Chain A
């Protein structure tokens, strides 16, 4: 009985592969992970191995002529060029060296559609993947190379990135937007891998693996937007050609600190579609459609509460706090927070009234907020504002402006705070005159109202 050795076992694809395997078919299933194995509970019948591709000592003893290797480990996305090389080229070379020495039975290499992009000047990931493939071909082992397109599914980093773009109020599309993509669901990719193993397709083929449909990236983003319930179709087109070298130059100075990387833009630059092959032709009938993939990705996020009152509140409060529009994700989370926390209206009529006044306009929030801080510190308005603030400090791009420091010098800060304190007092005075009597009245009359439990 053969054994299986999987690199990158705790990664996005590795986890799904291990979960789908029938361990009974193998003598051992070992999976290598740099992160100590107990961070991911080992799927039944599989054994984690703590180690690193570049540290052959950590896995040498597991390789022999009875072992099939599935090579998934890779540095992806926003890793820097040096890291990409160490993991994707050097790591593959070291692994192949060990596999050749041990004369392993078969080698399944999971590469990427990016390896066949015609130009990869500013795309170290694509270059590293191409080099990795060449190493596999030269190693003299029975091998198969799979080049998946964008991989969707729970935890897919690329889908998360696209979803964030689609959620922006003004959706950016880089270049003409006509570049085509053909996402595949991770579970379907795993089915392909299992078929390669079962059918013993290790005759040195390189197979593109894509989903059942190819669409333009702009269409894809708009579909995402539509399925998330947003009516807006506003798109801003950004020039791709100058942006890529510009970002690449910026990265040289700033490393990976920019919000967007040159590498990420390659999805907009070259078609990421798969050439047909008999294996995917056979299996594609059962593959998930694009809409199914998007729906899953969105349902993993949240469905918008769809309450127009909460949406309005969220927008107004968001503009007050950060001076920016709130994207559908923030709005949905704001609504979801209300559903989860089920605050009641508080005693009397005052709290809902204060919220209603505040939510009229960003300018009315300030006096209401200042008033609430001193006269209703634990009331409904502050709860809502704190909920929104907590959502914003966790959500890109908003968290970056919350983290960004301002004036830089202590005197500058003093002046700014003094000014803001002054405006707070200015806002507070009329608020007290108008709101304090209402709050008192609400207290006096609260006994006459039935207890309120309606969610607000």
Chain B
């Protein structure tokens, strides 16, 4: 029996595991762990793939054309490519029902962040106010994780929101459009800051601008969305690979954990997983159990375990996610100009809008559209397709999207429960979410402000193309069993140990008591490393 059993191999799990392995513990990791497919033609650029693949449409749209975005698909501007299908593949056994929430799950080796866009921002003291620790406690772990994953950033105006930490490489070269926007910001800095409380700077990204640990610096191949072939863009499976180098690490994929069992002493005794290959359950005795299956899957395992033992249907409240609004824009200076496909594909610029309460800062990431597929944009323009195609061709270099993120807090009505069959595998996960009162008004105010800011930067927002993404779409889930200074059921200690079970830990978003606007994964990883250091 290992010292520690971890469930999941996502961003949270692997950084926890690597940290305890480095301390000499023996670790077993149970995971569903669907693996990725081999990267095709790793040396080709994006257009190189179109030229050289025998069947490029199959690669980009999928055998079942699943990545084609049809006019009835809502207003998403990109779909997940077939090469990322494994990230969202789910075992057929699981069921869920949601109200007001569109959840995404991953059962992949590396979890959801195998498809992430690499935005990695540290929380500051104000944002950590509800956490039982401050930035100084977390900083060493941000720095450690940054050194592991390879991150870049620059000291600029955004430092007022995103604290500076060690191990940041210099940023990538701007693509032409981002450079233009940033130059406009520099010219109008004072006005933007005074009038709109808007600050801009480089995105902090989990991407390499220098070679590191056998991984190559980004060579601007433009393939980010389809999977970086040179591992310049960090994904958790790289850390899993590092874990596999430890002799005391055992990784067992193909295991869908359904529940744990516990005795009268409220200590977890075993964890039960459904062996997906053999089609039967398997028990693993545990000394310490660490759940890192992603906030929603961790909730499912936790609730199913209690329901199985007590027959009681319980629920967890306080589920959080960041509301995201996509605001497409056109930079008129680039209209009719050719675009360069060989550039970094995701956002290179970030924006922060200060509000009265520093916890409620609004976080924006600005992606200038380069190599993404054009058909979703072309079909969304209110013109016939041929005219719209003409327009998009000429505006391709000028297109961009501001992705604006809002904070969330724990509210009792936002719940996760399980119901139905007593068999933990077949029980249905039920999610209910309602936005905070007055959200619409707040969003409208901020959207107008962002439009005005973009105009200052020389970019216009075309009518009818703005998209308020449904809750769940940002995939920043947190808050169901929060860290709590006092001992209270359904909460956890400052080191993420359950107050209900002595040897049970949650190292994913489960324990976050507050969700700032900025992307949480970097903090998930840092917190997981912190728990490993402080508690083990």
Contacts and interface: CB of A to CB of B under 8 A. Distances in A.
Contacts of A297: 54
Interface stretch (B35-43, B149-157, B352-360, B495-503): B35-43
A410 B237 contact: no
A35 to B, nearest CB: 4
B177 to A, nearest CB: 13
A407 interface: yes
B50 A396 contact: yes
A369 B68 contact: no
Contacts of B341: 403
- Size bracket, chain B contacts: 35 or more
B374 A40 contact: no
Contact of B391 (A302, A341, A417): A417
A52 to B, nearest CB: 10
B136 interface: no
A132 to B, nearest CB: 19
Interface string B376-397: 0011001111110111011011
A366 B384 contact: yes
Contacts of B180: none
B375 interface: yes
Interface in B364-413: 373-375, 378-379, 382-387, 389-391, 393-394, 396-397
Given A35-B230, A321-B389, A373-B385, A302 B55 contact: yes
Contacts of A94: none
A337 B68 contact: yes
Contacts of B72: 378, 383
A45 B447 CA distance: 57
B231 interface: yes
B231 A36 contact: yes
A382 B385 contact: yes
B65 A387 contact: yes
A38 B241 contact: yes
Contacts of A373: 382-385
A302 B64 CA distance: 13
Interface of A: 10, 34-36, 38-41, 50, 77-78, 154-157, 159-161, 163, 297, 300-302, 320-321, 333, 336-337, 340-341, 365-366, 369-370, 373-374, 377-378, 382-383, 385-387, 389-391, 393-396, 399, 402-410, 412-413, 416-417, 420-421, 423-424, 427
Given A393-B373, A394-B56, A403 B386 contact: no
A35 B39 contact: yes
Given A35-B230, A402-B393, A405-B396, A41 B68 contact: no
21 contacts: A35-B43, A35-B231, A36-B230, A39-B231, A50-B214, A78-B48, A160-B52, A320-B386, A341-B64, A370-B383, A373-B382, A378-B72, A382-B385, A383-B71, A396-B51, A403-B393, A405-B393, A406-B390, A407-B336, A423-B387, A424-B383
A35 B229 contact: yes
A40 B42 CA distance: 10
A391 B57 CA distance: 6
Contacts of A161: 52
B473 interface: no
A300 B40 CA distance: 15
Contact of B54 (A300, A378, A385, A394): A300
Contact of A385 (B60, B335, B385): B385
Interface in B110-140: none
A370 B54 contact: no
A337 B65 contact: yes
B393 A378 contact: no
Interface string B323-342: 00000000010011111010
B70 interface: yes
Given A39-B231, A369-B385, A382-B71, A163 B336 contact: no
B113 to A, nearest CB: 16
B61 interface: yes
Given A39-B42, A369-B386, A406 B393 contact: yes
Contacts of A408: 336-337
A233 B369 CA distance: 41
A394 B384 contact: no
B53 interface: yes
A219 to B, nearest CB: 21
Contact of B338 (A321, A405, A409): A405
A78 B391 CA distance: 32
Contact of A427 (B61, B384, B391): B384
A395 B394 contact: no
Given A386-B71, A413-B394, A393 B375 contact: yes
A290 B241 CA distance: 42
B245 to A, nearest CB: 12
Contacts of A321: 385-386, 389
A405 B391 CA distance: 9
Contacts of B70: 378, 383, 386-387
B379 A386 contact: yes
Interface string B199-235: 0000000000000001110000000000001110000
Given A160-B52, A394-B50, A410 B336 contact: yes
B138 to A, nearest CB: 30
A395 B54 contact: no
B194 interface: no
B441 interface: no
A393 B374 CA distance: 8
A417 B384 CA distance: 12
A160 B50 CA distance: 11
Contacts of A396: 50-51, 56
Contacts of B216: 34
B63 interface: yes
A423 B390 CA distance: 13
Contacts of A50: 214
Interface in B5-56: 35, 38-43, 47-48, 50-56
A413 B214 contact: no
Contacts of B237: 38
A427 B385 CA distance: 13
B333 to A, nearest CB: 8
A113 to B, nearest CB: 20
A399 B375 contact: no
Given A50-B214, A405-B338, A424-B383, A377 B55 contact: no
A153 B412 CA distance: 59
A386 B394 CA distance: 19
